[in-house]
Structure formats: structure tokens, C-alpha cells
Structure 1
Amino acid sequence: MNIRLASAPVSWGIFEFEGLEPRFPWAQVLDEIAETGYVGTELGPYGYLPTDSTQLKVELDRRNLRMLSAFVPVDLTDPAAHQAGLETALQVGGLLAALGAPLLVLADNNGSVPELVKQAGQRSGTYLKDWKNLADGVELVRRRLADELGLTTVFHHHCAGHVETPEEVEALLERSQVQLCLDTGHWHYAGGDAVDCLKRLGSRVGYLHFKDCHPEIAAHCRTHNLNYFEAVKAGLFCPLGEGEVDFPGILAELARQGYDGWAVVEQDVLVEDLEAPRRFSQQNREYLQSIGLVKG
């Protein structure tokens, strides 16, 4: 097993969702990612980091960071929106390719359907009746990014989206050749077990997001019908090791499978404490050190 650790701007509350403005300058975020011991980063929302590849490469190099990927949510259920989604993916992918990044993390436009935002973490089964449109949209992006930019596309399941539950993930994978970005926190809140996912779907997992999920906060969110954004603000995704996700079990299964790749340590946060993201970033790496993933 060879797992290299990265972080991402989302752990500083930098989201792709409209209406959530960044509270940290990009240079500070890159500084703190590097200073807390990570060797890679994701792009964050397009335009948050510099979009000039030469400038961004200089900034990454002087912090010894590698650019890995970008989370790109687009409308995949409406065929009329597929071309626009492809153009977005190609724009972001062009910057990634110029920086030598290997991946693009594709997602549904999570948070755009009020019913799914309200039901996040509280439903099972599948919301969609017909998967053809979504699978076609995924395959369009996957093929074009591979053919034109040499990028591998991985799909990120996400609470408050059309691909949230384990059943929905499997429905997509059955209809597409896309690899999976397994997000351990989203998988858990959606009713799944990450170790079981790796055992059953490990051959399809091409990228990892390490995220924890606090059981008491999750129960509170369900009992009080908190929507997805309210749940995140309540601290649903807690520091690694403080929640219910079985990270020792995950590492054991990844070792058994000989996983060789990246894991992005994420903690989706909406906090008022502006010191918290750096503190959590350090704490998360120290937790992974305590269970034997990283040395020193």
C-alpha cells in the first residue's frame, strides 16, 4: 500500500455552492496546507486559485505541493445541460492538465434540488427512476477528458445529490465505466460502510476522500430534520478519529488490496472560528499518523 496525503480548499470552507463566499485568501490556504504536512492539493472552485497555469505552478512549487484534481459539479440529469457541463469540465480540466494533475472529480450538481437537500442522510434506495441521462452525461465527460486531455475522471457521490446512497452509486457504476472517488464521510452519512464498499467495489475505487462523520450529530440532524447545509454547519463532518468512520479498517482493506494512490483529507466546515481549519488540518494528519499511515 502506498497512500500519499493531500488536502483541499474545502477544508477551509471554500465550497462550489453558490452563496458561500470564501473567508480565506488562497495564498493562506496553500500555505496552511503545506505547513500542516500535506504534499498535494485540489483546485477548489475554479477561479479561487489563480487560473494562469504558469503562476499557479510557481505557487505550488514553492510550497512543494502537487495539484491533483478538482471537484466539478454539473447538471447530469438534464440532457440539454450536458454540453454546458462538458465545457465546464474541459475548462477546469485544461488547467489541471497544464499542471500535470492526473484526475478530475466529477459530481452531480449537489445541493440544487431542494427535496434532496432536505432529505440528505435520511433516505435510502434510489431517487431517480431512469439512470440513462445521468450515466450518459458522466460517460460524455469521461470519454472527452480522456481523449482530449489525458485525464482520468472519477465520480464523487455526495449527500444532497442524485448519487448519494450506496444503491445510487452502484446504479451509476453499473451503467458507466467511470471510476469512483470514495468519500468516506458522505458514504457513511448516506447509510453505507466504507470498509464494505472497498471490499465490494474496490476495483472501481480510483481516488479517496478521507472524511469522518460524527454519530451523535448525525442522529441529531436526522431527528430534527436538518437539511444538508444545516448538518454541515452543525459539525456533521468532524475531525478524523472523532466520528464513526472505521479508518483503521479502511487502511487494513486498502493494504490488502495494495492501493497505490492519493487520499485527500477533507473536513467540510462552515465555522465562525477562523483558526479552526488550520487546527483541524494538523489534527487530522496527526490522527492518521497515530494509526500508522504517516511517519513523523
Structure 2
Amino acid sequence: MPTTIKGPAIFLAQFAGDAAPFNSLAPITRWAAGLGYKGVQIPAWDARFFDLEKAATSQAYCDEVKGICADAGVEITELSTHLIGQLVAVHPAYEAQFDAFAPEKVHNNPKARQAWATEQMKFAAKASRNLGLSTSVTFTGALAFPYLYPWPQRPAGLIEEAFAELGRRWKPILDAYDENGVDVGYEIHPGEDVFDGATFEMFLDAVGSHSRCAINYDPSHFLLQQLDYLAFIDIYHERIKAFHVKDAEFNPTGRQGVYSGYQGWLNRAGRFRSLGDGQVDFSGIFSRLAQYGYDSWAVLEWECCLKHPEDGAAEGAPFIESHIIRVTEKAFDDFAGGTTDRAALRKMMGIE
């Protein structure tokens, strides 16, 4: 049945900073509420806002965090573990870059970093439960992505082994989320091994169609790949448990296309934009999600190569609000209906 989507909400990660009101939970949630947001998605790795290990072990702390948000006038939508989940699987080509997401004690030690990330992901499962949340959002990490468009050709079996290993690493984590009654919404994203529908299906197979393996739907990444993001909802709506509302545009030229020629964000053919400034058909998306009964949050993830973030945030709340469809409880043509009379129905069709 159609369901009214919750929102607007905002992902705090892109707005975090060292100056007030962006440097701690109480002021940033008041700032968000002042713009019209009703929910906040908390980056679980950012100690300025949240202590993940403490939240996993202390119900009192989680009640305190919920109280801070409630006092500001917002709810917690999900915990984000994107930068933690990323470290569950790291190809050696990215070692130096991704060490920055982990504590110094595990730098230059891939096995220790993976173990740390796995532990942190399990903390997030318990913390989500303690906060009363039903979904968390994350990345899968990547072992195969450097071989996306290969020359020379990939050795036979490389992709299959990459996804088998990805499944081996994530299955125990998904089991921990299941024990805590929480879904894991993977953001399907280039740079991760799971970056489109086909790779999500491969991952789903690798984790045995795990009931907690879900999707954080973000159309911006699909537009930049030139994937049909409305048909994606038709195919995968049963697995969509979270929604990042993010805009993008794709303007190919005679010089560059999907891969964007190593250019910086400003000069790429494909680039992220503030809500309403790009090409994503949000009316179609909100309609599809409502049609399939998506009943969770619409969360702004702001990334734009041009606009100031505070302007993007201010514009985002009314944009999302205007796209949320308050679904009807009756059919528009009910006025023309009547009571059910089987005899009359059979007579209409000439059935004796």
C-alpha cells in the first residue's frame, strides 16, 4: 500500500566543522531544526557528535543522545557508518588513502584495520538498537573496483572471488545486525564493489540473500552512470530501506563522458549539485517510492561543486517537503462506486 514518506531530514556529515554550530550535536541539531528538518542522520565516526562504542554499551548514553535531538526538535533517522564500512574491504591500491579513516594504531596494517572496522560495524548494530533505529547506512568497500574497465582483461574468476570474499567478510556483520533487529542499507556507489543493480545482486548472492542486506537509495550515483534510476526502484523496491536525496547532472562533451577525464568536480561532465539545480527527476522518485510503500526517511545528502553548503541546506528542507506525497486513503473515483452485489455483477456480464 502507498505510504507517506517521513522527512525532511539531513545527513550531518557534510556540514560538520570545528566552528559553532557545526562542532557538536546540540547546536547542529538546533540549526537543522531551524531550517525545517525533522530528522538527522548521524555520522557514527565523528566524535564531535557521537561516541559509537559508548552507544553500543550504554542505554543511558543513547537516551541522552536521543534527548538532545528531541530537545532540538528532530529525530535520529539512521546511523551512518560509511567511512567504517569502507574499511571492511580495501584494495591495496587504496591503502594509503583509506588509512586516514582509521585510528593510527591500525595504520599500515590491513588485517588490523579490517578487524577494527568489523568491530566498529558491530558496535553500530548495537548502538542502532539502543537508539530504537531499524536501519543503518554504509558502504561495502571494494576489492574488485580497480578492475572495473580492465586492460589487459581480468583473469577468469577474479570478480567471482572478490565477491565471495566480500560476502565472507560481511555475512558475520549482517548476522550481528539481524541479532539486533537492524537492516544495513548499502549506498550503491562507484568506488565500491557494489555500484549498480547487477553488482548488488552479486553481493546479495554472496551473503546468501541475507534478510538484513538492504539498499540506501541515492539517485545521484545512478544518474552519473546513466542508469535508469526509476526502473531501479521498480526492480529493487523491496530492499530499499533508506533514501539519500541528492541531485546531480551529466553533461557529456566531445572531450569527456562518464569517466570525466580526471577533471576536478567543477569541470567534470558528471557532477553533484544542490537539490533542484541538477537533472534528477525527484517527482518521479518520490512517486515511485510512495507507490511501493517506502515508509522511512527522505534524507538530504548535500554535495555540490558550486553552491555554499548553508544555502544548499536551507533550500533542501522545503525542496524535500514539497516532494513528499501525503498519500490518499481512498480512491479518487470512490464517489462513483456502489455496494457489492454479486447477483448484480453477474447480471451486468450476462451470466445466468
**TM-score normalised by the shorter chain: which range applies?**
0.7 to 0.9
Q: CA deviation at 1:106?
A: 2.8
Q: CA deviation at 1:185?
A: 1.2
Name the SS of the counterpart of 1:43 in structure 2.
strand
In 1, Cα distance between equivalents of 2:149 and 2:37: 34
Q: What is the identity, as a one-letter code, of the residue corresponding to 1:209?
A: H
Task: Determine if contact 1:116/1:161 at 8 Å carries over to the other structure.
Answer: no
In 2, Cα distance between equivalents of 1:173 and 1:59: 37
Is it true that 1:231 corresponds to 2:262 in the alignment?
no
Task: Determine if contact 1:118/1:160 at 8 Å carries over to the other structure.
Answer: no
Q: CA deviation at 1:49?
A: 0.4
1:32–1:168: structure 2 CA closer, same or farther, 3 Å change rule? Answer: same
Question: Who wins on radius of gyration, i.e. which is larger?
Answer: 2
Residue pairs, 1:1-296, within 5 angstroms: 1-5=3-7, 6-12=9-15, 14=16, 24-26=22-24, 27-46=26-45, 47-51=47-51, 52-72=61-81, 73-77=85-89, 83-109=115-141, 115=146, 128-130=159-161, 131-147=163-179, 149-176=180-207, 177=210, 178-216=213-251, 222=258, 224-226=260-262, 230-231=264-265, 236-269=271-304, 276-291=308-323, 293=325
Name the SS of the counterpart of 1:108 in structure 2.
coil
Show structure 1 runs of 4+ deviating over 6 A: 116-119, 217-221, 232-235
1:42–1:116: structure 2 CA closer, same or farther, 3 Å change rule? Answer: farther
1:248–1:116: structure 2 CA closer, same or farther, 3 Å change rule? Answer: farther
Task: Determine if contact 1:154/1:179 at 8 Å carries over to the other structure.
Answer: yes
Gapped regions of structure 1 (runs ≥ 5):
15-20, 120-126
Task: Determine if contact 1:107/1:156 at 8 Å carries over to the other structure.
Answer: yes
Task: Determine if contact 2:144/2:159 at 8 Å carries over to the other structure.
Answer: no
1:184–1:114: structure 2 CA closer, same or farther, 3 Å change rule? Answer: closer
For 2:101, the equivalent position in structure 1 comes to: none
In 2, Cα distance between equivalents of 1:233 and 1:118: 22
Gapped regions of structure 2 (runs ≥ 5):
52-60, 91-109, 151-157, 327-352
1:173–1:192: structure 2 CA closer, same or farther, 3 Å change rule? Answer: farther
Q: What is the identity, as a one-letter code, of the residue corresponding to 1:38?
A: Y
- Which TM-score applies when normalising by structure 2? 0.66
Name the SS of the counterpart of 2:216 in structure 1.
strand
- Which TM-score applies when normalising by structure 1? 0.77
Number of equivalenced pairs: 274
Q: CA deviation at 1:278?
A: 2.7
In 2, Cα distance between equivalents of 1:238 and 1:29: 22
For 1:123, the equivalent position in structure 2 comes to: none
1:288–1:264: structure 2 CA closer, same or farther, 3 Å change rule? Answer: closer
In 1, Cα distance between equivalents of 2:324 and 2:76: 25
Deviations 1:186-228 (A, max 9, x none): 222233222110011111111111111122389967475237x
1:54–1:22: structure 2 CA closer, same or farther, 3 Å change rule? Answer: same
